[in-house]
Amino acid sequence: MRKHVKGNVSWVGYLDWELETFHGDDYSIFHGSSQNAYLIEEEKTILVDTVWTPHHYDFIQNLKSEIDLKKIDAIIVNHGEADHSGALPALLAEIPGTPIYCTAMAVKSLEGQYGKQGWNFHVVKTGDELDIGNGKKLQFVEMRMLHWPDSMAEFMTGDNILFSMDAFGQHYATSELFADLAEQDVLWHEALKYFVNILNPFAALIPRKLDEIAKLNLPIEMIAPSHGAIWREKPFKIIEKYAEWAKAYQEDQVTVVYDTMWNGTKAIAHAIEAEIKKQSPSTVVKVFHIAKSDKNEVMTEVFKSKAIAVGSPTAINDILASVTAWISFAKSLKFKNKKAAAFGCYGWSGEGVAVLQKELKEAGFDVVDENVKSLWNPGEEDFAKVPELVKALLA
- CB of 221 vs ligand FEO, minimal distance in Å: 23
By CB under 6 A, tell whether 79 contacts ligand FEO: yes
List the catalytic residue out of 14, 190, 227, 273. 227
Q: Is 84 a catalytic residue?
A: no
Q: How far is the CB of 252 from ligand FEO (least distance, A)?
A: 32
For 72, other C-beta atoms within 10 Å of its C-beta total: 20
Binding ligand FEO by CB under 6 A: which of 227, 232, 304, 373? Answer: 227
Tell me how far, at minimum, the Cβ of 121 lies from ligand FEO, in Å.
19
Nearer CB in complex with ligand FEO: 177/272? 177
Q: 104 to 163, contacts with ligand FEO by CB under 6 A?
A: 147-148
Asked if 363 contacts 302 with a C-beta cutoff of 8 angstroms, the reply is: no
Rounded CA separation 61/70 (Å): 14
CA angle, 248 then 210 then 77, to 5°: 115
Looking at the Cβ atoms of 226 and 253, the one nearer to ligand FEO is 226
Q: Does 190 sit near ligand FEO (CB under 6 A)?
A: no
Of the residues 38, 101, 172, 194, only one is catalytic, namely 194
Residues 260-319 that bind ligand FEO (CB under 6 A): none
Q: Which member of 16, 41, 49, 83 binds ligand FEO (CB under 6 A)?
A: 83
Spatial contact of 166 and 147, defined as CB atoms under 8 Å apart:
yes
The one catalytic residue among 16, 83, 273, 351: 83
What is the closest distance, in whole angstroms, from the C-beta atom of residue 366 to ligand FEO in the complex?
Answer: 31
Do 242 and 357 touch, CB atoms closer than 8 A? no
Active site residue 171: no
DSSP, collapsed to helix, strand or coil, labels residue 271 as helix
| Nearest-approach distance from CB 275 to ligand FEO, in angstroms | 41
Residue 194: active-site member? yes
Indicate whether 84 belongs to the interface with ligand FEO (CB under 6 A): yes
Q: Which is nearer to ligand FEO, 172 or 343 (CB)?
A: 172
Which class for 133: exposed (0-12), middle (13-18), buried (19 or more C-beta within 10 A)?
A: middle
Q: Name the residue nearer to ligand FEO (CB basis): 167 or 269.
A: 167
Mark residue 316 as left, alpha or beta (left: phi above 0; alpha: psi -120 to 50; beta: remaining). Answer: left
Q: Is 20 exposed, middle or buried (0-12, 13-18, 19+ CB in 10 A)?
A: exposed
Transcribe 166-217 into DSSP letters.
TTT--S---TT-BGGGS-HHHHHHHHHHHIIIIIGGGGGGHHHHHHHHHHTT
Nearer to ligand FEO, 31 or 84 (CB): 84
Q: What 3-state DSSP class applies to 331?
A: helix
* Catalytic residue status for 273: no
Whether 41 is catalytic is no
Distance CA 315, CA 354 (A): 13
* d(C-alpha 277, C-alpha 270), whole Å: 11
Question: Which residue lies nearer to ligand FEO by CB, 31 or 79?
Answer: 79
Q: Is 23 a catalytic residue?
A: yes
User: Which residue, 49 or 382, has its beta carbon nearer to ligand FEO?
Assistant: 49
Segment interacting with ligand FEO (CB under 6 A) among 9-17, 78-86, 131-139, 268-276? 78-86
Find the catalytic residue in 49, 154, 166, 275: 166
96 contacts 48 by C-beta, under 8 angstroms: no
Binds ligand FEO (CB under 6 A): choice among 81, 154, 301, 382: 81
Minimum CB distance to ligand FEO, residue 324 (Å): 27
Strand order in the sheet with 161-165: 129-133, 136-142, 152-156, 161-165, 222-225
Amino acid in the structure at residue 166:
D
Q: What is the CA radius of gyration of the chain?
A: 24
- Considering only 41, 150, 154, 166, the residue that binds ligand FEO (CB under 6 A) is 166
Active centre residues (catalytic): 23, 79, 81, 83, 147, 166, 194, 227
Q: Which residues bind ligand FEO (CB under 6 A)?
A: 79, 81, 83-84, 147-148, 166, 226-227
